[in-house]
Amino acid sequence: MQALSWRCPPDLGAIDQKLAELAVASANGAITTDVVRAVTPASREERVWSVVAAVAERRPLEALALLGQVLAQGENPVGVLTLLTGQVRELATARRAVQDGKPSLLGTGGEQTAAPNSHR
C-alpha cells in the first residue's frame, strides 16, 4: 500500500481505478510493490525523494543521474535543493546524536520517514 500511496493521487476514485488496473496486471492476483512500480508512474514527490535517498545513502553517481532526470522533467531546482538541505541537516543531527551517545534525540519510538525507494 505504501508504494501505491506514493504513486497515486489522494482521490478514492483514482485509487479504486488503479487497484482494478493492478489486479488485472498481477499474475496471481497478488498486488506486490513490483507490480505497483511497473504499472503506476512515479509521482513528483517520489522522484525527488529518490534523489534525496541516493544522497543520504552516499550514492553520488546515482544521485547525480536522478537529479538530472528530475530537473529534465521540470522539477523546481529550489524545491529539490530545499529537500536536500533538510535531509542533510537531519543526517548531521542524527550523526551528532549518535556520536554524543544521545540517540533519544533521534525521535521517539524509532519511527522511520524513509523515502519509498530508499534501500534500508
Q: For 48-70, write each residue's pLDDT tens digit.
A: 888 888 888 889 999 999 999 98
Q: Which of 53, 32, 43 is nearest to 112 (CA)?
A: 53
- Answer whether residue 114 shows pLDDT above 70: no
Which pLDDT value is given to residue 6? Answer: 61
Cell of 6: 506514493
Residue boundaries of the structural domains of the chain: 2-39, 44-106
Distance CA 49, CA 114 (A): 9
Query: What is the pLDDT, as a whole number, of residue 113?
Result: 46
pLDDT the model gives residue 112 = 45
pLDDT grade for 100, boundaries at 50, 70 and 90: confident
**Listed residue (64, 38, 37) closest to 51, CA to CA:** 64
Q: Rg of the chain's alpha carbons, rounded to an integer?
A: 17
Cell (9 digits) for 103: 540517540
